[in-house]
Amino acid sequence: MHSEGRTRVLEYGDLVVRATPESGGVRTEIEVANTYERDATYSVQISIADGEGWTAHNRFWLQDVPPGKSGREVAVIGSPDMGQVPQVPKIYVDEFTPIVDRQ
């Protein structure tokens, strides 16, 4: 994991996760490179935490990513009513499941 300014970046195989703290939660962007020879759908669950009890989760579905291309999705994870939004978010990949088209 490394930082790009205020954004924390985690590279996990073909998956890259970027987490940027905002006032309303942690803006989380995932990008998956399809290295298969067929279209693929990805189920990805990400947790964002502060290491002291604040933890939020989100599931992303990237559908029908063509071979050799990347799929991207963005969501704000967590909310201010959970307490102080982590300023140095910790990123966890809870699930990373590719589903490859068999046709």
pLDDT at residue 102 above 80? no
Check if the beta carbon of residue 20 is closer than 8 Å to that of residue 7: yes
Identify the pLDDT of residue 1. 87
Question: What is the predicted pLDDT for the residue at 101?
Answer: 67
Distance CA 63, CA 85 (A): 30
Q: At 93, list the tokens.
A: 């990949």
pTM of the model: 0.92
Question: Who's near 98: CB < 8 A, 6+ residues apart?
Answer: 32, 36, 40, 41, 42
Average pLDDT over the chain, rounded to whole? 95
pLDDT by residue (tens digit) across 84-101? 999 999 999 999 999 986
Which pLDDT value is given to residue 103? 62
Task: Give per-residue pLDDT as tens, 11-20.
Answer: 999 999 999 9
CA distance 44 to 49: 16
Task: Give the span between the Cα atoms of 18 and 46, in whole angstroms.
Answer: 11
